[in-house]
Amino acid sequence: MDRLTISPEPRPIGTSSLRVFPVAYGCWRFAGTSVAAAREKIESALEVGIQLFDHADVYGGGAAETLFGQVLREAPHLRSRMLIATKCGVVPGIPYNATRAHILRSAEESLRRLNCDVIDLFFVHRPDVLTHPEETARALDELRQAGKVREVGVSNYTPSQCAALQRFLPFPLVAHQREWSCVWPAVFTDGTVEQCYTARLSLIAWSPLAGGKLLLPLERAAQDKNASVLVPTIQKLEALAHSQGVDRAAVALAFLLAHPVNAIPIIGTQRVDRIRRVLLAFRVEFDRAGWYALFQAGRGKQLP
Ligand SMILES: NC(=O)c1ccc[n+]([C@@H]2O[C@H](COP(=O)([O-])OP(=O)(O)OC[C@H]3O[C@@H](n4cnc5c(N)ncnc54)[C@H](OP(=O)(O)O)[C@@H]3O)[C@@H](O)[C@H]2O)c1
């Protein structure tokens, strides 16, 4: 049969020994609540099986990491159930800095805010074209040698930028973090998916629900600047969700999870009920025709 597999089995992170539940939880929108509310979100994510929590030094200007660290101070036993990812290199107003000095300082500050000893997965957030990759690599290697980061990945790099950094690293990069959703298929046209296959990098997909746009009511989607793609995609998601007794978010996540690149989408909801509904994604059934129909809707034109 041509049914695609959507398994909740843990997925490896690159060639590392790390394996995680196939969906991660993102902390971009995490700051600004009480410690109790933050703890409830973290615990809900852990309860559904989520292990990887994605941060960046700039989320909430550092407040997301600080709040997360406050939860870990209050409930240190949670740390052993999770893997923490964070990122460095975006500096509002500059906008990027991947120099050795900046990376070393950023990692130290993230560790302090997160209230932990090691960052499990450390990303360079965006390519800094003004820094030689050899310098960036030196900083990442020093952090790894010092036991401050376990594994390293890149975020929003092109495949050739990723290959250039890898050329100067004495260990393999393990992850590519890129925007990917039904309506944002760039990873298929710029060589990212192929690089993930050949270099055995994990594709960590940010904004898998297009930042919430895939859940808009149709009349609001029709006013979006990307309406010509968004509306037909939402209609397809809705039809599949309706026929399978799940919700649109579940189908949108399942679309990513069913692809053989073995991606790990990072969900960004701040609502505990929506975190719990993540498991619905594993109930979705896709066959080749259904998957390709959604793929074509999201790219805005039929395949030849
Ligand atoms: N590497 C990078 O450059 C980069 C860039 C952006 C993001 N990221 C990472 O990716 C993570 C996820 O990004 P994201 O937050 O854009 O992901 P997302 O899951 O695509 O979007 C989350 C948004 O969708 C809304 N939403 C979720 N389910 C919904 C539903 N059923 N109905 C209506 N609205 C719904 C959420 O609102 P509610 O909170 O109200 O549910 C939230 O505003 C971030 O936290 C961050 O860790 C990385």
Q: Is there an atom of ligand 1 within 6 Å of 86 CB?
A: no
| Residue at 241 is within a domain | no
pLDDT at 283: 96
- Best residue for ligand 1 mutational test, from 29, 247, 255 (most atoms within 8 Å of Cβ): 29
Segment 242-268, tens digit of pLDDT: 999 999 999 999 999 999 999 999 999
Q: How far is the CA of 295 from the centre of ligand 1 (A)?
A: 20
Average pLDDT on 227-232 reads 97
* Long-range CB contact pairs, 253-256, < 8 A, 24+: 253/23, 253/208, 253/209, 253/278, 253/281, 254/6, 254/281, 254/282, 254/284, 254/286, 255/182, 255/286, 255/291, 255/294, 255/295, 256/180, 256/181, 256/205, 256/208
Q: Is there an atom of ligand 1 within 6 Å of 241 CB?
A: no
| Residue at 182 is within a domain | yes
| Residue at 55 is within a domain | yes
Segment 63-102, tens digit of pLDDT: 999 999 999 999 999 999 999 999 999 999 999 999 999 9
Looking from the CA of residue 212, the nearest atom of ligand 1 is 24
Q: Is there an atom of ligand 1 within 6 Å of 84 CB?
A: no
Q: Position 197: which residue type? A: Y
Mean pLDDT of the chain: 97
Average pLDDT on 128-147 reads 98
Q: Which two tokens stand for residue 177?
A: 């973090």
Does residue 59 carry a catalytic annotation? yes
Looking from the CA of residue 208, the nearest atom of ligand 1 is 20
pTM attached to this predicted model: 0.98
- Best residue for ligand 1 mutational test, from 23, 25, 27, 28 (most atoms within 8 Å of Cβ): 28
pLDDT at 2: 84
- Residues of the domain holding 150: 11-213+248-285
Average pLDDT on 49-55 reads 98
pLDDT at 5: 84
Q: Is there an atom of ligand 1 within 6 Å of 212 CB?
A: yes
Q: Which residue's CA is the nearest one to ligand 1's atom 26?
A: 212
pLDDT at 64: 98
Segment 104-115, tens digit of pLDDT: 999 999 999 999
| Residue at 281 is within a domain | yes
| Residue at 17 is within a domain | yes
Could you give the CA distance from residue 239 to residue 11 in angstroms, rounded to a whole number?
A: 29
Q: Is residue 191 pLDDT above 80, yes or no?
A: yes
Q: Is there an atom of ligand 1 within 6 Å of 208 CB?
A: yes
pLDDT at 60: 98
| Residue at 255 is within a domain | yes
**Buried-exposed string 14-50: b where 16+ CB fall within 10 A, e elsewhere:** bebebebbbbbbbbbebbeeeeeebbebbebbbeeeb
pLDDT at 289: 95
Per the structure, the count of domains in the chain is 1
Q: How far is the CA of 253 from the centre of ligand 1 (A)?
A: 12
Catalytic residue among 59, 96, 157, 292: 59
Q: Is there an atom of ligand 1 within 6 Å of 253 CB?
A: no
Average pLDDT on 257-281 reads 97
Determine the Cα angle at 14 with ends 12 and 20, to 5°: 30
| Residue at 293 is within a domain | no
Cβ-contact 175, 204 below 8 angstroms: yes
- Best residue for ligand 1 mutational test, from 33, 58, 269 (most atoms within 8 Å of Cβ): 269
Q: Longest Cα pair distance anywhere in the chain, in angstroms? A: 56
Q: Is there an atom of ligand 1 within 6 Å of 209 CB?
A: yes
Could you give the CA distance from residue 6 to residue 117 in angstroms, rounded to a whole number?
A: 34
Least confident segment among 4-8, 148-152, 218-222, 295-299: 4-8
| Residue at 86 is within a domain | yes
pLDDT at 73: 98
CATH assignment at residue 204: 3.20.20.100
Q: At what angle do helices 288-299 and 227-244 cross, to 10 degrees?
A: 160
pLDDT at 1: 59
Q: How far is the CA of 28 from the centre of ligand 1 (A)?
A: 8
Q: At what angle do helices 133-145 and 100-114 cross, to 10 degrees?
A: 40
Q: Is there an atom of ligand 1 within 6 Å of 10 CB?
A: no
What is the SS3 assignment for the chain? CCECCCCCCCEECCCCCCEECCCEEECCCCCCCCHHHHHHHHHHHHHHCCCEEECCCCHHHHHHHHHHHHHHHHCHHHHHHCEEEEEECECCCCCECCCHHHHHHHHHHHHHHHCCCCEEEEEECCCCCCCCHHHHHHHHHHHHHCCCEEEEEEECCCHHHHHHHHHCCCCCCCEEEEECECCECHHHCCCHHHHHHHCCCEEEEECCCHHHHHHCCHHHHCCCCCHHHHHHHHHHHHHHHHHHCCCHHHHHHHHHHCCCCCCEEEECCCCHHHHHHHHHHHHCCCEHHHHHHHHHHHHCCCCC
